[in-house]
Chain A
Amino acid sequence: MLYLLAVALVAMHAGRYAAIIAAFLSTALLDFFFIQPRFSFTVADAQYVVTLAVMLVVALIIGNLTIILQRQTAAAVERELQSQALYQLASQLAGATSLEQVATATRSFLYETQDCLSVLLIHRDNELHPVEQGHSLNSVLQSVVALAALKQAQTLSLPDDDDYWLFLPLPGSTYIRGVLAINFGKIVPSTISDQQNLYEAIASLVAIAIERLHFVEVAQRAQIQMTDERLRSSILSALSHDIRTPLTVLYGMADTLSLTQLPQSARETVSAMREQVLYLNSMVSNLLDMAKLRAGNIRLNQEWQPLEEIIGASIKLLGTALAQHPVKVILPSDLPLLKFDAVLMERVLCNLLENAAKYAPPTSTITLSAQVDGDKVHISVRDTGPGFPPDKLDKVFDLFERGNAESSVPGVGLGLAICRSIIQAHGGEIHASNCDGACVTFTLPLGDPPVIEMGSDNE
């Protein structure tokens, strides 16, 4: 029995082969010292042969079991160390507030615990970018394999020169956010594939950290944008209120005056005052509109409606400005409903008609026509004036650009720029041309008008 204890001890301390030798040796010693005849390896009684054989087998089994147990203990200890290390990494990553911190934490973790170098690559604009300055891949081949790991969303390995690389994709909830490249140096690849689970666990921890940072950023950006937008719109509405109030007062006072008995010259002055106030008002409206349109995020209130409705409203709104110019409207009788923001489209038509009226000779006709062409409709406003300067045809829609800078016709070059912003927001285009006068044509997509059911309305 003592021999068996010795075998177990040897197995614990000296390993498998020593244990086997110890098993044989102890059997031999037992035979030599205790089995009759003593001090000889010969066995007199056949019964002892069986005893010795059993002893040998038991010794071998005990030795082997001890070894297996020991290995399992070692593996458990190592696993515990690994999970402790992973836990440490996870808590470091959880505290990270930037991608750089994630990269640094991962890199030092891998260096300290696995003795290998690593590079964190982030996916942006269809390319992989190293997160940390000075820690990047050093060959084209590595970059190609890293990108392949990203595209295929699976771990790829690459023996490159003397180094052995592993590229682990970092999966986010919607797409792969990047790749973790680990350089093992000259380690035998088989030990790496043994530990691949560990590396994948590390990769998923890093991926979670990156995903978290991404959503934090998205939330922050939305917050900033919202505050920004609220601030801008409150400034604009305050400005618009503060400018309109004195304009309203001025206009009302001039109007009150014009209703009293006044000498001819004073009457003319009052009427000029009213006109100038209205002009100033339309300029302020244009500037405020432009500020809103320029700020981006125009919220279109698009609805399906007949074009003629907005044409009639625009002509009516312009009123006296169009007094000297009859407007001829030519619309196809089967023009479908169009989807647009009525208020903004009214702005476009008013600006175009007002422009035409400013430059066209008095009493000449302004033509407004529409034509369906494929999947869009062309709408043009044409006058018989001098037209645009030919060298400025594509510039007239720029901000503060005027056809003729020294023109006696008032204006600051905002109207057409606003038209372009509005039309572009609707997914259309706008062009200027000359044909017996100025002609501005814009397009609107036809889209898919709603079906109007009149079934119940036929009497």
Chain B
Amino acid sequence: MSDPAVILLIEDEAQIRRFVRAALEAEGYRIVECGTLAKSMSQVNEAKPQLAILDLGLPDGDGINFIRELRTQSEMPVLVLSARSAEGEKIRALDAGADDYLTKPFSIGELLARVRALLRRNKTDGTAMETSFCFGEVEVDLARRQVTRNNQLIHFTPIEYRLLCAMLANTGKVMTYRHLLRSVWGNAHIESNHYLRIYVSHLRQKLEDDPTQPKHFLTETGIGYRFQI
């Protein structure tokens, strides 16, 4: 690795900062810590981090406003830390521009996996998007608009194919209902979550071994979906 990636860690609890920092430094990242939102904006400009890890429950302000402000000047990925049963908060953070979330308590393994995925995707952004995907027995060739499973051609309706593409384009990242509805249907069906659910279940039936226990088209309950290879 040439220059180590710089990660901005915004968390008010010193002990959480301590073990998160230790885990990330062990992986070779450089960490810039912030205990308050007030300081974090200046750190964004000074340290030029490639990724931010943000606790939503900071005492000195609304983390969601911070994300909005950040998005006006930077596209860097944001990983949000939040408590379970705070689905509304997570959705608002994701819709404001956060890229992923972790529910407290979280394991180091999960944290590192999310950080890696976010940094990797950020690197491929801007360059041409991958044109083929393989998961399970499924192969998707975006250039030829072909999907095969066990070398059998699978037929998709236009909407199903658009949804599949939208999910593949955000591999590993959680997508809110609103985000998916907007990118597949446009603004017309922004409140019709059940349309989305029906179409996701179509994709599962066509591409998953066991649609009731999916391995790739995962449900993020109360929030949206996540596609993983």
Contact = CB atoms under 8 A, between A and B. Distances in A.
Q: How large is the interface on A (under 10, 10 to 19, 20 to 34, 35 or more residues)?
A: 35 or more
B19 A452 contact: no
Contact of A289 (B83, B85, B107, B201): B85
Contact of A245 (B16, B219, B220): B16
A245 B197 contact: no
Interface string B83-118: 111010000000000000000111111000000000
B22 interface: yes
Nearest to B108: A255
B194 interface: yes
B42 interface: no
A450 interface: yes
Interface in B18-53: 19-20, 22-23, 26
A249 B158 CA distance: 47
A217 interface: no
B158 A457 contact: yes
Contacts of A250: 105
Contacts of A310: 219, 221
Interface stretch (A11-19, A83-91, A299-307): A299-307
A305 B221 CA distance: 11
User: Main SS of chain A's interface residues?
Assistant: helix
A281 B105 contact: yes
A329 B210 CA distance: 10
Interface stretch (A194-202, A312-320, A412-420): A312-320
Contact of A255 (B85, B109, B210, B221): B109
B144 to A, nearest CB: 17
Contacts of B15: 246, 249, 253
Contacts of A252: 16, 19-20, 23, 105-108
B193 interface: yes
Contacts, number: 121
B194 A305 contact: yes
B84 to A, nearest CB: 6
Contact of A256 (B13, B108, B200): B108
Instruction: Name the residue in B22, B105, B157, B195 with the highest tally of chain A Cβ atoms < 10 Å from its Cβ.
Output: B105
B58 to A, nearest CB: 11
B218 A285 contact: no
Contacts of A313: 218-221
Nearest to B111: A252
A312 B219 CA distance: 8
Contact of B22 (A256, A278, A343, A346): A256
Contacts of B195: 452
A253 B195 CA distance: 43
B105 A316 contact: no
Given A247-B105, A457-B157, A303 B213 contact: no
Interface of B: 13, 15-16, 19-20, 22-23, 26, 57, 83-85, 87, 104-109, 157-160, 193-195, 197-198, 200-201, 210-214, 218-222
8 contacts: A241-B57, A259-B23, A285-B84, A308-B212, A310-B221, A316-B213, A331-B212, A342-B221
Interface of A: 240-241, 244-253, 255-256, 259, 277-278, 281, 285, 288-289, 301, 303-306, 308-313, 315-317, 327, 329, 331, 337, 342-343, 346, 450, 452, 454, 457-459
